[in-house]
Amino acid sequence: MTQDMLKIDIQGDIAVLTMDRPEKRNAMCDQLLEEIDAFFSKPPAGVRVAVLTGTAGHYCSGLDLSEHVARDAEGTMRHSRHWHGVMDKIQYGGLPVVSAMMGAVIGGGLELATATHVRIAEPSTIFQLPEGRRGIYVGGGASVRVGRILGADRMIEMMLTGRKFGAEEGVALGLAHYAVGAGEALPRAMELARKIADNAPLSNYVMIQALSRIEDMDKPGGLFTESLCAALTQTSPDAVEGLAAFLEKRAPSFGRGR
């Protein structure tokens, strides 16, 4: 399946999404955002995990400033809120998303990456939030998603100076979970996607929905929510299958046919 700017390759229960604007380092424009939105609004039936990457040696270089549309304050706010809605669909839509990153992971590209659940960086990866050096401010969710990974103090320094971080630094800071060799991000992403797809769908869904929200709760609320999640998953058919597989010394088969 191919849209104009997003290639979609369904490989069994894994969907590989490739941002395809090589001449723009896969910079984000309204059309590409809408194509990403369309996929995550209604993922194809049977897909359990998505892998998100870019073409021609780059993940996503942020907003395409050459296609910048002048908006008034209200229009800018609404555009930003639309970004938030799309990023929320990626983070909370229930489909685990693995990012295979290389080259530019800049501005809106970093906002996109931090909405995904597993992030893998090749040596060429550059993490940057250059908005502050351009007289603007982030609008696609970085204040929350990147800010919670780095902490406000480090994010302020990053934005004030336009500082760039590489793959190894990104792992140390939490912007990436894995640093791999050149050309290895997508193979590792597919390997991890396979592991994730073999998990119980309900437990994957609950992990995605619960953990970042528990982070926002007070301790009693978080512990109670944990108990509800445990009750939901541990009484499911997949929990029965998981226990049976353990006792029978075999790999479990979760949720097949449902």
Other residues' Cβ atoms within 10 Å of the Cβ of residue 152: 10
- Reference 111, options 90, 81, 87; nearest CA is 87
35 is catalytic: no
Please tell me the distance from the alpha carbon of residue 171 to that of residue 178, in angstroms, as a whole number.
6
215 is catalytic: no
- Reference 186, options 4, 7, 18; nearest CA is 18
Please tell me the distance from the alpha carbon of residue 138 to that of residue 150, in angstroms, as a whole number.
15
Q: Which residues make Cβ contacts (< 8 Å) with residue 1, sequence separation at least 6?
A: 7, 8, 9, 10
Please tell me the distance from the alpha carbon of residue 161 to that of residue 56, in angstroms, as a whole number.
28
By three-state DSSP, how is residue 18 classified?
strand
In a 13 Å sphere around the CA of 119, the CA atoms on its Cβ side amount to 28
Q: Which of 131, 168, 169, 241 is catalytic?
A: 131
Q: Which of 23, 34, 67, 111 is catalytic?
A: 111
Structure tokens at 168: 């190894």
Quickly list H helices, the chain: 30-41, 73-92, 108-113, 142-150, 152-161, 167-173, 185-197, 201-216, 219-234, 237-247
Q: Which residues make Cβ contacts (< 8 Å) with residue 155, sequence separation at least 6?
A: 129, 142, 146, 147
- Residues marked active site are found at 111, 131
